[in-house]
């Protein structure tokens, strides 16, 4: 077993060699300590120009979009913490499924060497569903909005006299709509 002095001498020699190590040898005309992989030719690298604050990294290239499908980014992480799994369960219940990182999606949306199963970016995961489901959901939302508007109008018309301006109701952004007097008399508004 080396003595303590021998051990200190060995450590000191290693430190001197580390400080005065010979220059790195070049590989294929590039320094050995380059910060990139061997298979990357720096002359082939490109970048996207910054226009209007930078490229939209969540934009789906038009070449990937299929008109029979709808696409949506769904939050999976906030401040690098997973979201409540019930959020993802709710997305699945509405027909959303993750876009798999394979084929043309892998080539267009993922960096070289990517091995993940899904396309994730900035805490979002790309999901898709058939367009018919999106159309159904939009129709449901519009029907719900109309029903709520009708109920609110009926509530306003049923309010005591003097509490709401009678005969004029603002239905949407724009000019007020005049309600016919026969509907005012019955206190029922149909839209």
Which of helix, strand or coil describes residue 59?
Answer: coil
Cβ neighbourhood burial of 67 (10 Å; 0-12, 13-18, 19+): exposed
d(CA 121, CA 105): 13
* CA angle centred on 117, ends 113 and 119, rounded to 5°: 85
The distance from CA 56 to its chain's CA centroid, rounded to whole angstroms, is 11
Greatest distance between any 2 Cα atoms in the chain: 110
Other CB atoms within 10 A of residue 145 CB: 10
Map out the domains of the chain as residue ranges: 69-131, 135-186
From first to last of its 191 residues, the chain has per-residue pLDDT tens of: 667 667 667 666 655 555 454 444 444 555 555 555 656 677 777 776 665 555 577 888 888 999 999 999 999 999 989 999 999 999 999 999 999 999 889 888 888 888 899 999 899 999 999 999 999 999 999 999 999 998 888 887 777 776 655 555 555 555 555 555 555 444 444 44
Task: Dig out the tokens for 16 from the structure.
Answer: 């001197």
Which of helix, strand or coil describes residue 47?
Answer: coil
pTM equals: 0.57
d(CA 91, CA 143): 21
């Amino acid at each position: 077993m080396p003595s303590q002095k021998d051990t200190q001498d060995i450590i000191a020699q290693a430190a001197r060699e580390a400080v005065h190590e010979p220059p790195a040898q070049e590989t294929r005309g590039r320094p050995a300590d380059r910060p990139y992989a061997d298979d990357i030719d720096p002359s082939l690298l490109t970048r996207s120009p910054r226009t209007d604050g930078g490229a939209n990294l969540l934009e789906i290239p038009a070449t990937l979009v299929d008109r029979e499908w709808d696409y949506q980014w769904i939050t999976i992480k906030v401040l690098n913490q997973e979201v409540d799994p019930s959020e993802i369960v709710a997305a699945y219940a509405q027909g959303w499924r993750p876009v798999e990182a394979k084929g043309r999606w892998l080539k267009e949306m993922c960096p070289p060497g990517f091995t993940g199963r899904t396309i994730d970016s900035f805490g979002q995961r790309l999901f898709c569903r058939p367009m018919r489901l999106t159309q159904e959901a939009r129709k449901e939302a519009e029907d719900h909005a109309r029903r709520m508007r009708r109920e609110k109008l009926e509530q306003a018309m049923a309010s005591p006299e003097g509490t709401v301006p009678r005969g004029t109701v603002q239905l949407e952004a724009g000019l007020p709509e005049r309600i016919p007097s026969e509907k005012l008399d019955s206190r029922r508004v149909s839209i």
